[in-house]
Amino acid sequence: MEENKKTLYSAIQPTNSLTIGNYIGTLRNWASYQNDYNCVFAMADMHAITVRQQPAQLRANTLALAALFIACGVDPDKCTFYVQSHVPCHAEMCWALNSLTYVGEMERMTQFKDKSKRHADNINMGLMDYPVLMAADILLYQTDVVPVGLDQRQHLEITRDIAIRFNNAYSPTFTVPEGIYAKVGAKICDLLDPTKKMSKSAENPNGSIFMTDDRDTVIRKFKRAVTDSDNCIKYDPENKPGVSNLLAIYTTFSGKSMDEAEREFDGKGYGDFKLAVGEIVADKLAPVQAEQKRILDDKAYLQGVLANGAEKAYKVARKTLSKVYKKIGFFQA
């Protein structure tokens, strides 16, 4: 890692296919961060098992996600790019941080409460400990900035609290990280219920655009997107959540500003607007999907990249973990 650059950390769980919410909220910016930061990008498979996964599917999803990262411009030579479970320090650090985290804090986490409702038959310890494992991920790499969607803000805040708590209890050890959130696109919403975030695990898959959706599916889903009865294409998330969500998607995929997009659709009907959004998304997804498939076909290459990535990550993570073990009083042989 270069000494003069700040460190940026982010991760995505290899569950299902990603949605364009994950892509817009995070992944699409990752390539551009690589020149300015020491980037560490992970596939959070240990987080993924906090809800039930089919083992074969989890394995396949992990490889598919690795290929998607690269297809989106993540360059394994420019950053550290690895699978979380390949670096044992994450579980070890999580255990050390657990003893500095209160049960009450974890019970108050919105995502824990939501997931406990959705998976009422499987409210496991991992689900509750999810934010501490996330803190371990971030703090192991002495991270300065963490680009995530707004749904992760609370987890970022608790990471900062845990870091500060540790630094105060022992002595300065961890960099206290800052979250970075996109101005537009940090919360892409469900097409059928624009008050909810677009999710990989939504009950109705027609509300989410998956990165693997083909052109016809993308256009069909956008045609059915919920709008309102004003017939006016303006960005106003509070009063026009459906139209604003579509505009956020349109501007990120077209590269146009919000003003430009509003002017372009001034006086047009919702039907034309939804078709235009569907077309631009389908146009932009097609080459990414083709590139992902090409990379995925070369398993030996991908395995090599992930083995190297884990080695690079381990060196940095181990150093921080050793410091932590020393500070908390573990006898060093």
Active site residue 200: yes
- Which is closer to ligand TYM, CB of 52 or CB of 263? 52
Least distance to ligand TYM, CB of residue 20, Å: 8
- Select 11 or 313, whichever has its Cβ closest to ligand TYM: 11
319 is catalytic: no
Q: How far apart are CB 49 and ligand TYM at their closest, in Å?
A: 12
> From the CB of 18, what's the least distance to ligand TYM, in Å?
7
Closest CB to ligand TYM among residues 198, 282: 198
**C-alpha triplet 209, 215, 216: angle, nearest 5°:** 95
Given phi > 0 = left and psi -120 to 50 = alpha, else beta, which region is 255? left
**Catalytic pick among 113, 183, 196, 197:** 197
Among 7, 8, 10, 305, binds ligand TYM (CB under 6 A): 10
Whose structure tokens read 């932590």? 324
197 is catalytic: yes
**Residue 193 binds to ligand TYM (criterion: CB under 6 A):** no
Position with the least CB separation from ligand TYM:
25
Kindly identify the residues of this chain, within the stretch 167-186, that bind ligand TYM according to CB under 6 A. Answer: 186
Interaction of residue 279 with ligand TYM, rule CB under 6 A: no
Nearer to ligand TYM, 26 or 227 (CB): 26
Q: Which is nearer to ligand TYM, 199 or 227 (CB)?
A: 199
Q: How far is the CB of 230 from ligand TYM (least distance, A)?
A: 24
Q: Between residues 145 and 305, which has the closer beta carbon with respect to ligand TYM?
A: 145
- Per-residue x/- track, 105-144, ligand TYM (CB under 6 A): -----------------------------x--xx------
Give the range of 18-26, 58-66, 219-227, 279-287 binding ligand TYM by CB under 6 A. 18-26
Tell me the three-class secondary structure of the chain, residue by residue. CCCCCEEEEEEECCCCCCEHHHHHHHHHHHHHHCCCEEEEEEECHHHHCCCCCCHHHHHHHHHHHHHHHHHCCCCCCCCEEEEHHHCCHHHHHHHHHHCCCCHHHHHCCHHHHHHHHHCCCCCCHHHHHHHHHHHHHHHHCCCCEEECCHHHHHHHHHHHHHHHHHHHHCCCCCCCCEEECCCCCCCCECCCCCCCECCCCCCCHHHCCECCCCHHHHHHHHHCCCCCCCCCCCCCCCCCHHHHHHHHHHHHHHCCCHHHHHHHCCCCCHHHHHHHHHHHHHHHHHHHHHHHHHHHCCHHHHHHHHHHHHHHHHHHHHHHHHHHHHHHCCCCC
Chain residues that interact with ligand TYM, rule: CB under 6 A: 9-13, 21-22, 24-26, 44, 47, 134, 137-138, 146, 148-149, 151-152, 186-188, 197-198
Residues acting as catalytic residues: 115, 197, 200
